[in-house]
Amino acid sequence: MAPCSGPPRPPRPIWDFKPCPSRPWRAIVVRYALFAQPVCSFSPLPGSKPLLQPAAGLLTVPGHSSALPGVTLALSLVLPTYNEQSNVAELVAQLTRLLDEMLPGDYELILVDDDSPDGTWAVALGLVAAYPQLRVMRRQTERGLSSAVIRGWQVARGQILAVIDADLQHPPALLRPLWQAMEQGADLAVASRHIDGGGVSDWNLIRRCLSRGAQILGLVLLPGVVGRVSDPMSGYFMVRRDAIAQRSLQPKGYKILLELLGRGQIETIAEVGYVFQERSAGKSKVTWQQYLDYLHHLWTLRWARFAAGPPGRKLLALPMARFLKFALVGLSGVVVDMAVLYLLHGALGLALTRSKILAAEVAILNNFLWNDAWTFADISVRQLGRAARLKRLLKFNAICLAGLVLNVLVLNLLY
């Protein structure tokens, strides 16, 4: 067979793809056996072989290492990247300093880049000589954070699989308590913004409302999945390979944790609080499309769980009990709102706008107390204490603020 066109390259610890017109059959083999990408010129780790998939395009994590048979590590940490040229060198340096202390010689970093226009993958390749623990994968036809993470896990050699954002918003130091939780027997250890010690640094009100609103919607549609962790939107966690091995994963968008909770065999979960930091370099990639992808993902998981139930019990698979509770609480809020408005404006003669604002606040308080103690009691019990409840109330009130403003505007327009 004639070699692939171009000068030969020595083996190196990267995955680097480019078209190969002189050997189209190779493109077909790689397409069906590796990453469902019509590409060639595959240069893996010395002694390794292409990772075979059950079928083209399936996102399934193998139960054991396929990169180097017989070689396993304690931890494989995936860094999905896109246009992170300004952050990648600092992140790799911080991670290796920490992990060299925690797991000397027993870990790997797998950077999966979606062919960044700013050349992130090229910068990462330049770091390989200085950091032998680093492996780089450059994807040229496939896109998406969730699929990037799984592609990295597919070639990982670790018994514990992990992911961290490459924008330095996730503190690397949190790897230590996450690892300790895994050593104590957890199947999944999640970095959470919504437990003691957690939070966000400088998010504006709109972003806070969208984040919390997305979580509440998830609790209504998928209480058995979203309700298992306090921060289902987290992108920083560790998972035991055995808990997700051979599971057919179908992630949508950028929230892979939902997929693992919905399809993995995860029993014991630990959470560690952290403060989500703002970027020091680069641009945020949060878009409205990501929120739409999240809604699509919720619906996909909801339908999958519905379809998987016994024929006679599929209706019971829907979260009807929680939904009915949520609806009843909402109805009680309407009654409270109207009653207080009538009392303040009709009976006491208070100004209409002021009466409406006060009535709405009383209704919001009513809804929060009932939801906290009844609808989502199984979630609230994880965050005990007055301070935690006050924090939840303030967040709930902030989410309802948009509706309150709209109510007051409509009321003044009509009356």
Among candidate residues 215, 221, 216, 217, the one with its CA nearest the CA of residue 317: 221
- CATH superfamily of the domain spanning 59-311: Spore Coat Polysaccharide Biosynthesis Protein SpsA; Chain A (3.90.550.10)
Q: How far apart are CA 293 and CA 146, in angstroms?
A: 11
CA-CA-CA-CA torsion for 231, 232, 236, 241, nearest 10 degrees? Answer: 130
For residues 319 and 221, give the distance between their C-alpha atoms in angstroms, rounded to a whole number.
6
23 phi/psi in degrees, rounded to 5: -135, 70
Q: What is the pLDDT of residue 41?
A: 24
- Comparing CA positions, the residue from 152, 175, 181 lying closest to residue 76 is 152
The predicted model scores a pTM of 0.63
b (16+ CB within 10 A) / e for 96-117: bebbeeebeeebbbbbbbbebe
DSSP 245: B
Position 39 scores a pLDDT of: 27
Please report, for residues 245, 342, 385, the alpha-carbon distance to residue 355 in angstroms, rounded to integers and kept in the order given: 58, 8, 32
**DSSP-based three-state secondary structure for 221:** helix
Residue 70 to residue 72: CA distance in whole angstroms? 7
**Regions of the chain with pLDDT less than 50:** 1-56, 310-318
CB count in 10 Å sphere of residue 268: 14
pLDDT of residue 191: 95
Q: What is the reported pLDDT for 285?
A: 56
CB 188 within 8 A of CB 270: yes
Look at residue 278 in the predicted model and tell me its pLDDT. Answer: 66
Give the pLDDT score at 243: 93
pLDDT at 42: 25
Q: Which of 52, 18, 55, 235 is nearest to 141 (CA)?
A: 18
- Element containing residue 408 per DSSP (H, E): helix 386-414
Task: Give the per-residue pLDDT at 90.
Answer: 96
Per domain, the residue ranges of the chain are: 59-311, 319-414
Q: What's the pLDDT score for residue 64? A: 64
CB distance 231 to 193 below 8 Å:
yes
Q: Which residue has the tokens 């692939």?
A: 4
